Structure 1
Amino acid sequence: MSMAIGLALALGGVAAAPAATAPDTPMERAITAPGPKGDLAGTLREAAGDGDAPVVLILPGSGPTDRDGNNPMGLKAETYRYLADDLAARGIASVRIDKRGMFGSSAAGSPEDVTIGAYAADTRSWIDAIREETGAGCVWLLGHSEGGLIALSSAAQSGEGVCGLILVAAPGRPLQDIIREQLRANPANAFLLKDADRIIDALVAGETVPDSEIPAPLLPLFRESIQGFVRSEFALDPAELAKATDLPLLLIYGGRDIQVAPTDGERLAAARPDATLATFPDMSHVLKSVAGDGMQANLATYADPDLPLTDGVGEAIAAFVKVAPKR
């Protein structure tokens, strides 16, 4: 499988994975929110200090990514667990979650029978549950990668109870443009580009493409069972969604991100000139510093659970949350 496809694979729906477990600690406890068929599951990480802490809801990236930021496709970075710990030490509580149909949320519905709108509705349920559980007047939405698109869509549906948005390595262009770019980044994909463009054009137009008309290497991206989800992504322009909300907005990007370029953050910042944009030159897509040059050094950050987050990321988020206007 080519690297471009491997990076893009997670943009589509996936089959449910086994339930994940997270041991309780004195600072963590389980939290649930109502889902369409059963409860959505997450972990509430309490903040150090008093009980009146801001709360950040961490919306995970694409594919079968669990509440800690790992998935069975080789991602073992523990990004969201590290982020929760860092924020807690800075006086900010957080909730990290399993998506509908996956891991602890497997009873909530099918992981393939979803759209961005459905994930936005789940986010709305989480906001209500967190406010009830913690007494917080509002909740910050932190969307990583595809989670940023979900955060923007949720705010577009309703900003009630949302303190503001923190978009981390989030797309700033329509997803179809990013997928085309990823596929073209690897010369080994040259024989697939004509078919990929044909399929993408059809999905953008709202059409269905039968599996029989999709080359085998492209099926993980575009198989018919997930085309409803893919079409819902392709219908959205993140910059237009950002422009449509006046919520406080923090944009965080990595200079060594091989999935979403810092220029995506610049496009969002152009749509929202009042947003705060922070770029960390050595940071990869999983918010860790890349030691060395080349693709292998970058990919190593995806598979090392002991590698900490890039210095300054948690600090930038905490500083923004603490000085933003109260809602």
Structure 2
Amino acid sequence: MTYKITTFLIFFISVLTVAQEKNYTELEVSIPTNSVTINGTLLTPNTSEKKPLVIIIPGSGPTDRDGNNAMMKNNSLKFLAEALTAKSIATYRYDKSALSYTKEEIEKIDTLTFDTFIYEAKRVIDYFKNTEMYSKIIVAGHSQGSLVGMIASQNKVDGFISIEGAGRSIDEVLVEQIELQAPFLKDETQKIVIELKKGNTVDKFNPMLISLFNKQIQPFLMSWMQYNPQEEIAKLAIPILIINGSKDIQVKIVDAELLHKAAPKSELFIVENMNHIFKEIKGDLNENMQSYNDSKLPIMLNFSDKISTFAKDLK
């Protein structure tokens, strides 16, 4: 009898697992743009009626569709997409364009500007709008992707979600970060960003700042500095959800509050104990840092639930 019960349980669990695996369809979708082909993953709930679609825009650096890069693997964006699709919301997440260049095209990476990312996000939005397959289209931008998304969303989508997005222009953020990490470099950093914001390159500076201000990245920073998140989010005439984690060590709660103040009709949601990559942190800075390279640690449920509710409640 025990053998039969055990066999039945194994069979039941196996069937349940297969059923869970088949509650959505996964499809690789490549979207051509004038700069490069955008490669991403579309998850579609297996239902006949139209569903809302959330387009997830990744953060800074060579970040892929799952929220990972060569230095860390945490699957933050992958887990978010899967959590939303499990709640009958379609999702599309894509690789940063820098990851799509071939070896022969690698030199083109140095020509990327912040405007390139905005253009590419617009093309992704247009692609899915033209399919007419979704009840609503929502953009969710993470970190740097928040600013990209709020600009690309203007006059194009039904809702916008800022996830751990800065509320100040990148020049202000850079100066603040340097002041916290290396106060003796603050004044020089301030002088550099002033010149870059004017459109002037800077040749001579402290070698300790080379990772921030090398000649190849300066044009990108110049284009990024031209945008103020508070001004851009104020232009949106759609429902807005602003999310920040209380344990985010990269973007402060004050940034979310600044965005909320600039868009008074927006909804502000602070997730207690959530860090920059949506993981629950109960301990110290060491636990926070280790989570960035933990590919199995799940994201917080109340975070994904809030996004799901926002997407489904859009009128």
TM-score (norm 1): 0.84
Which position in structure 2 is the counterpart of 1:196? 189
1:78-102 CA-to-partner distances (Å, cap 9, x unmatched) read 0010001100011101111012231
The yes-or-no answer on 1:253 pairing with 2:244 is yes
How far apart, CA to CA, are the structure 2 residues paired with 1:267 and 1:240? Answer: 10
Which position in structure 2 is the counterpart of 1:92? 89
The yes-or-no answer on 1:36 pairing with 2:20 is no
**Are the counterparts in 2 of residues 143 and 168 from structure 1 also a CA contact under 8 Å?**
yes
**Are the counterparts in 1 of residues 169 and 227 from structure 2 also a CA contact under 8 Å?**
yes
Q: Secondary structure at the match of 2:199?
A: coil
User: Per residue, is there more helix in 1 or in 2?
Assistant: 2
Which position in structure 1 is the counterpart of 2:177? 182
How far apart, CA to CA, are the structure 2 residues paired with 1:138 and 1:115? Answer: 29
**Are the counterparts in 1 of residues 179 and 185 from structure 2 also a CA contact under 8 Å?**
no
- Alpha carbons of structure 1 residues 58 and 244: separation in structure 2 relative to 1, 3 Å: same
**Are the counterparts in 2 of residues 113 and 226 from structure 1 also a CA contact under 8 Å?**
no
How far apart, CA to CA, are the structure 2 residues paired with 1:29 and 1:108? Answer: 27
How far apart, CA to CA, are the structure 2 residues paired with 1:166 and 1:265? Answer: 11
1:14-50 CA-to-partner distances (Å, cap 9, x unmatched) read xxxxxxxxxxx96211101112244211110112544
Which position in structure 1 is the counterpart of 2:56? 58
**Are the counterparts in 1 of residues 51 and 136 from structure 2 also a CA contact under 8 Å?**
no
Aligned equivalent of 1:233, options 224, 227, 240: 224
How many aligned residue pairs are there? 293
**Are the counterparts in 2 of residues 163 and 248 from structure 1 also a CA contact under 8 Å?**
yes
Paired-residue identity, %: 30
1:257-294 CA-to-partner distances (Å, cap 9, x unmatched) read 1111011111111111110111012011111111312x
Aligned equivalent of 1:111, options 106, 109, 112: 109
Matches within 5 A, 1:1-327: 27-72=25-70, 74-103=71-100, 110-133=108-131, 135-136=133-134, 138-156=136-154, 159-160=155-156, 162-186=157-181, 189-210=182-203, 213-293=204-284, 295-325=285-315
How far apart, CA to CA, are the structure 1 residues paired with 2:299 and 2:107? Answer: 32
1:24-77 CA-to-partner distances (Å, cap 9, x unmatched) read x962111011122442111101125444111111000000111100011x2211
- Alpha carbons of structure 1 residues 109 and 92: separation in structure 2 relative to 1, 3 Å: farther
How far apart, CA to CA, are the structure 2 residues paired with 1:129 and 1:42? Answer: 12
1:174-207 CA-to-partner distances (Å, cap 9, x unmatched) read 1111111112222xx1332232122111112221
Q: Secondary structure at the match of 1:289?
A: coil
Which position in structure 2 is the counterpart of 1:20? none
Larger radius of gyration: 2
How far apart, CA to CA, are the structure 1 residues paired with 2:305 and 2:149? Answer: 21
What is the CA-CA distance between 1:112 and the residue it aligns to?
Answer: 2.9
TM-score (norm 2): 0.87
1:206-230 CA-to-partner distances (Å, cap 9, x unmatched) read 21112xx132221221111121211
**Are the counterparts in 1 of residues 24 and 85 from structure 2 also a CA contact under 8 Å?**
no
What is the CA-CA distance between 1:155 and the residue it aligns to?
Answer: 2.6
